[in-house]
Amino acid sequence: MARIVVLLAHPSPEHSRVGTAFARRAQALAAADPAAIEVRDLYARYPDYLIDVAAEQRALADARLLVWQQPIHWYGMPPLLKLWLDEVFTFGWAYGPGGRALQGKDLWLVASTGGAEASYRPGGANRYFFDAFLPPYEQTAALAGMRFLPPLLVHGAHRIDDAEMQAQAEVYADRLARYPNWPELADLAAAAPCEVAADERPDPGA
């Protein structure tokens, strides 16, 4: 089982430019060193949306880093990644009483937006700085005891030229290859402890 698990979550890879370029880089690293990186293409693996939860949880057992590689859809994640989260990060496994399976691992969001960086600000079409859309990701990581690493974001994905896109893909590949030896991780604190009480989720026995 791999040290880094990359989840690809692009609903229409045939139309993807950035996601495809990034996925190729991750897949090349995985092919060169399968013990280091595993790439799991969610939409290819589960076209019927029937997720093998046990297999997904097993894939994370020995991972230190989980990567969510996705286009931003409606200021968040595409639907199959959301379903994966609902079904794989279960109460009592990922969080809540006894839920410690992911404690101490890292979560890295690698995402592209159609909106240019300049559109993500007050007065722009997206009205908020992009950081405003990150807390659900960050807190999801914290609830599971995971560190949320500084995201890699490609804004204006349809406008950037090939040279810029390849430069970003190079950064991505370099980060994957060097993990966990990133300068900014030295000062990054562990996830804040977040306890969810047993009566804050449905009783599976009821």
> 23 vs 142, which CB is nearer to ligand FMN?
23
Burial (CB < 10 A; 0-12, 13-18, 19+), residue 45, is middle
Separation of alpha carbons 69 and 42, rounded Å: 10
Over its C-alpha atoms, the chain yields an Rg (Å, rounded) of: 17
When asked if residue 25 is in the footprint of ligand FMN (CB under 6 A), the reply is no
Separation of alpha carbons 119 and 117, rounded Å: 5
When asked if residue 73 is in the footprint of ligand FMN (CB under 6 A), the reply is yes
Q: Residue 117's CB: how many other CB atoms inside 10 A? A: 15
Structure tokens at 116: 């240019």
Q: How many residues bind ligand FMN (CB under 6 A)?
A: 16
When asked if residue 16 is in the footprint of ligand FMN (CB under 6 A), the reply is yes
**What residues from 113 to 142 belong to the interface with ligand FMN (CB under 6 A)?**
113-115
What is the phi/psi pair of residue 5, to 5°?
Answer: -115, 120
How near is the Cβ of 73 to ligand FMN at its closest, in Å?
4
**What residues from 157 to 196 belong to the interface with ligand FMN (CB under 6 A)?**
157
Residues 6+ apart with CB under 8 A from 47: none
When asked if residue 74 is in the footprint of ligand FMN (CB under 6 A), the reply is yes
Among 60, 68, 69, 71, binds ligand FMN (CB under 6 A): 71
Candidate segments 10-18, 59-67, 137-145, 183-191, binder of ligand FMN by CB under 6 A: 10-18
Which chain residues interact with ligand FMN by CB under 6 A? Answer: 10, 15-19, 71-75, 112-115, 157
